[in-house]
A and B are shown apart, each in its own frame.
Chain A
Amino acid sequence: EPEVTQTPSHQVTQMGQEVILRCVPISNHLYFYWYRQILGQKVEFLVSFYNNEISEKSEIFDDQFSVERPDGSNFTLKIRSTKLEDSAMYFCASSLLAGGETQYFGPGTRLLVL
């Protein structure tokens, strides 16, 4: 069964450093998403991406964040200058369509900013 994969599973970084989180969505899916979950809090939507551009972003997704689909298979989330409060589990998801279509989630990347 096809699945969404994410690398790395864990990342530790120093405050102010750039990090890139990588995701490989399911191959025939068209919509891609990033969510995050700060420990003990809700899973929060960050951004959705379709047809090589951002279709929606939340208030969390400020100028420090960017997304890219560099090669037709990977989908990346970049945090330019990490802050302590960026420590969270980051989930990538993909779906064939939007508007209620099932989103398939990866296992997540645990990011710790020191």
Chain B
Amino acid sequence: AQSVTQPDIHITVSEGASLELRCNYSYGATPYLFWYVQSPGQGLQLLLKYFSGDTLVQGIKGFEAEFKRSQSSFNLRKPSVHWSDAAEYFCAVGARGSTLGRLYFGRGTQLTVWP
């Protein structure tokens, strides 16, 4: 069965520090992978996605993620965190080749940024 695990429920970093949010997935084939961010009162905003090709994906707001097939991981990184990055981050997986579009989400990681 498809599943997504985000092992860190809450992460706290200082502004300017580097960030890595972990995501592991379980899927029968190579999936589509997404990272979404949710700020308070806002919807889920797409940060980046992996479909195929280069396993290092660049997204908005200076985020990047690396797909590692051998580890079934799609970790999100940012070299220098800004206070405005404080939000909840969701990893999601979708079915390659599916016409249905269903996404499976992780539980989310809440990021707190200290000034």
Contacts and interface: CB of A to CB of B under 8 A. Distances in A.
Interface of A: 3-4, 6, 31, 33, 35, 41-45, 48, 55-56, 58, 91, 93, 95, 97-108
Contacts of B36: 105
Given A31-B101, A45-B104, A99-B99, 20 more contacts: A3-B43, A6-B43, A42-B4, A42-B107, A43-B105, A44-B105, A55-B100, A91-B43, A93-B44, A98-B98, A98-B100, A99-B32, A100-B96, A102-B34, A102-B46, A103-B46, A105-B36, A105-B44, A106-B43, A107-B41
A43 B96 contact: no
Interface of B: 4, 32, 34, 36, 41-46, 49, 51, 90, 92, 94-108
Contacts, number: 77
A36 to B, nearest CB: 11
A103 B43 contact: no
A99 B105 contact: no
A101 B46 CA distance: 11
A42 B32 contact: no
A28 to B, nearest CB: 16
